[in-house]
């Protein structure tokens, strides 16, 4: 398990999304490691966030191509939750499962091919630096790169039983700003236009869009409004999130959100909507299920799979029509908390799985051709 030393090194470097210095320091380590394996390094420089990194291998033309996807950023700013530790069963620290651990799995599996003198070709790697804040910058890069690929494996954490992920909900964040008119609540009560009251109507209407049977949720997570108890509120705002499992539900809710914004319950108020879909839905497809069947043949393993409510950059690649599977990283839990950990044994099994898949792919340049061994 010598690779745990590399994991320790990058975990001990703070890579909060806004910590450009830390993220760039980690990406330079990966530059060195992937260069040693014959990859060409492309840096997509950014001023305010860490640089995105794109590592390419030699390509055989007119053949299938595989993209491996990871991210370098974590969620805690410097001084909050740092440093790597371990015991006999687990490793602990920011990113051990989300997703520095997955990045290390990619590296180690490719190292295994190098050790066996297997030429690495038609496999490329993209590491972005802003996944934890919604990939607002990198999603455009990811989408532009995705069109060149036939398959994508994403190295977010595996499920508890090492499930691969075939679907993730889509997610959007929205803002409604409501304008009313201020007035003295005692002397001029009827002169005011209560933005808070209008917000309360809109809040209830938004919550009613939730349909748990269809996996659709609308959550108003933040409300702001008013000046004080003695003033009719001249302004209010709602921040809410939409999550959905299919495009039909997305379209239904988006249409009804527009209607809620346009409808006025308190005369004299006005409302504006901003925000939108951050990552569209990733749905289980016949192609992804077929790929899992082929993976089982290639590896002689039973591959379990699941759908998740959380999102990742797999949503972006999948939305571009690429056959995408997620959850190839190690199993862990406590991500986004100070209890984040990853199971040591799952590193071994995930590296083994990826090594078998990469080996088959570079020999056949597909996952459905050639002889399954």
The per-residue DSSP string of 271-334 comes to: EEEEEEEEE--B---HHHHHHHHHHHHHHTS---EEEESS--THHHHHHTT-EEEB--S-BEE-
Q: Clarify whether residues 102 and 196 are in a common domain.
A: no
Distance CA 216, CA 188 (A): 43
Query: pLDDT tens digits, residue range 59-70?
Result: 999 999 999 999
End-to-end CA distance of the chain: 27
Query: pLDDT tens digits, residue range 253-272?
Result: 999 999 999 999 999 999 99
Residue 56's pLDDT band (cuts 50, 70, 90):
very high
What is the strand order of the sheet 40-44 is part of?
40-44, 52-56, 123-128, 66-71, 151-154, 323-325
Comparing 21-25, 203-207, 368-372, the range with the smallest average pLDDT is 368-372
Q: Clarify whether residues 146 and 29 are in a common domain.
A: yes
Residue 301, CB-side half-sphere exposure with 13 Å CA sphere:
18
DSSP state of 158: B
Distance CA 63, CA 54 (A): 20
Identify the pLDDT of residue 368. 87
Confirm whether pTM is higher than 0.85. yes
Q: Clarify whether residues 205 and 254 are in a common domain.
A: yes
Identify the pLDDT of residue 369. 66
Q: Clarify whether residues 297 and 339 are in a common domain.
A: yes
Number of domains in the chain: 2
Q: Clarify whether residues 116 and 141 are in a common domain.
A: yes
- Residue 228 CA, chain-centre distance (Å), reads 40
DSSP state of 188: S
Q: Stretch 208-229: mean pLDDT, rounded?
A: 97
Residue 371 lies in a domain: no
Position 138 pLDDT exceeds 60: yes
Query: pLDDT tens digits, residue range 83-127?
Result: 999 999 999 999 999 999 999 999 999 999 999 999 999 999 999
Residue 372 lies in a domain: no
- Sequence-distant (6+) residues with CB within 8 A of 258 are 273
Q: Which of 251, 279, 307 is the last residue of a domain?
A: 279
Query: pLDDT tens digits, residue range 269-299?
Result: 999 999 999 999 999 999 999 999 999 999 9
Residue 370's pLDDT band (cuts 50, 70, 90):
low
Position 227 pLDDT exceeds 60: yes
Q: Say whether 146 sits in a helix, a strand or coil.
A: helix
Position 184 pLDDT exceeds 60: yes
Distance CA 150, CA 115 (A): 26
Identify the pLDDT of residue 372. 46
Position 371 pLDDT exceeds 60: no
Q: Stretch 240-260: mean pLDDT, rounded?
A: 97
Q: Clarify whether residues 236 and 348 are in a common domain.
A: no
Q: Clarify whether residues 162 and 302 are in a common domain.
A: yes
Identify the pLDDT of residue 2. 84
Q: Clarify whether residues 7 and 135 are in a common domain.
A: yes
Q: Clarify whether residues 47 and 164 are in a common domain.
A: yes
Residue 130 lies in a domain: yes
Q: Clarify whether residues 143 and 18 are in a common domain.
A: yes
Q: Which of 279, 305, 330 is the last residue of a domain?
A: 279
Q: Clarify whether residues 124 and 55 are in a common domain.
A: yes
Sequence-ordered alpha helix ranges (H) in the chain: 3-11, 20-35, 100-115, 138-146, 195-207, 247-262, 286-299, 314-319, 344-364
Distance CA 202, CA 194 (A): 13
The mean pLDDT value of the chain amounts to 96
Q: Stretch 343-349: mean pLDDT, rounded?
A: 97
Domain that holds residue 262: 170-279
């Amino acid at each position: 398990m010598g690779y745990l030393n590399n994991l320790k090194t990058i975990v001990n470097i703070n890579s909060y999304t806004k910590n450009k210095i830390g993220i760039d320091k980690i990406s330079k380590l990966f530059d060195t490691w992937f260069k040693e394996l014959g990859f060409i390094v492309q840096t997509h420089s950014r001023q305010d966030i860490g640089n995105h990194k794109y590592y390419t291998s030699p390509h055989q033309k007119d053949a299938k191509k595989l993209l491996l996807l990871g991210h370098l950023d974590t969620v805690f700013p410097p001084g909050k939750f740092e440093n790597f530790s371990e015991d006999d069963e687990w490793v602990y620290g920011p990113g051990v499962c989300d997703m520095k651990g997955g990045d290390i799995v990619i590296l180690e599996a490719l190292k295994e091919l190098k050790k066996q003198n297997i030429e690495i070709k038609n496999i490329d790697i993209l590491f972005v630096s802003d996944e934890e804040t919604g990939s607002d910058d990198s999603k455009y890069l990811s989408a532009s790169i995705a069109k060149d690929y036939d398959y994508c494996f994403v190295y977010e954490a595996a499920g508890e039983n090492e499930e691969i992920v075939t679907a993730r909900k889509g997610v959007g964040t929205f803002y409604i700003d409501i304008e009313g008119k201020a007035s003295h609540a005692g002397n001029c009560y009827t002169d005011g236009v209560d933005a808070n009251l209008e917000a309360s109507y809109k809040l209830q209407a938004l919550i009613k869009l939730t349909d748990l049977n269809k996996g659709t949720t609308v959550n108003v997570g933040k409300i702001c409004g008013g000046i004080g108890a003695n003033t009719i509120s001249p302004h209010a705002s709602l921040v809410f999130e939409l999550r959905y499992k299919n495009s039909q539900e997305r379209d239904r809710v988006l249409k009804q959100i527009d209607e809620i914004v346009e409808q006025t319950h308190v005369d004299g108020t006005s409302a504006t909507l901003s925000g939108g879909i951050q990552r569209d839905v990733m749905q289980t497809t016949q192609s992804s299920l077929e790929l899992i069947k082929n993976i089982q043949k290639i590896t002689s393993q039973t591959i379990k799979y699941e759908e998740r409510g959380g999102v990742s950059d797999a949503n972006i690649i999948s939305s571009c029509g690429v056959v995408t599977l997620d959850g190839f990283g190690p199993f862990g839990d406590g991500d986004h908390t100070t209890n984040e950990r990853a199971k040591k044994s799952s590193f071994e099994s995930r590296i083994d799985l990826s090594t078998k898949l990469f080996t088959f792919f570079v020999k056949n340049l597909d996952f459905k051709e050639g002889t399954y061994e």
